[in-house]
A and B are shown apart, each in its own frame.
Chain A
Amino acid sequence: MNRYLLPLAMFVMVLGLLGYGLFLDPKLVPSPLIDKKAPIFSLAMLEAPTRQFSTADMEGQVWVLNVWASWCIACRVEHPVITRLAETNLVTVVGLNYKDQPEDARRWLEHFGNPYATSLIDLDGRVGLDWGVYGVPETFVIGADGTIKYKHIGPVSEEALDQTILPILRELLS
Chain B
Amino acid sequence: MIRILLLSITLFYSTAGHAIEANQFDNAQMEADYNQLIKELRCLVCQNQNLAESNADLAQDLRRETYEMLKAGKSQQQVIEFMVARYGDFVLYRPRFKPSTYLLWLGPFLMLLLVITLVLRHFLNSDEAVSADAELLQQARQLLEKEEPRT
Contact = CB atoms under 8 A, between A and B. Distances in A.
Interface of A: 26-27, 29-33, 99, 124-125, 129-132, 134-135
Interface in B85-110: 85-90
Interface stretch (B11-19, B57-65, B131-139, B141-149): B57-65
Contact of A99 (B57, B65, B86): B57
A31 B90 CA distance: 9
A30 B88 contact: yes
A129 B63 CA distance: 12
Contacts of A125: 57, 61
Contacts of A29: 44, 87-88, 90
B35 to A, nearest CB: 21
B86 A131 contact: yes
Interface string B24-68: 000000000000000000001101000000000110011001000
Main secondary structure of the interface of B (DSSP, over half): helix
Contacts of B45: 134-135
Interface centre among A33, A132, A135 (most CB of B within 10 A): A132
Contacts of A99: 57
Contacts, number: 36
16 contacts: A26-B47, A27-B47, A29-B44, A29-B87, A29-B88, A30-B90, A32-B86, A32-B89, A33-B86, A99-B57, A124-B61, A129-B65, A132-B88, A134-B45, A134-B87, A135-B45
B58 A134 contact: yes
B148 to A, nearest CB: 42
B84 interface: yes
Nearest to B56: A134
B36 to A, nearest CB: 21
Nearest to A33: B86
Contacts of B61: 124-125, 129
B90 A129 contact: no
A72 to B, nearest CB: 11
Contact of A31 (B47, B62, B88): B88
A147 to B, nearest CB: 14
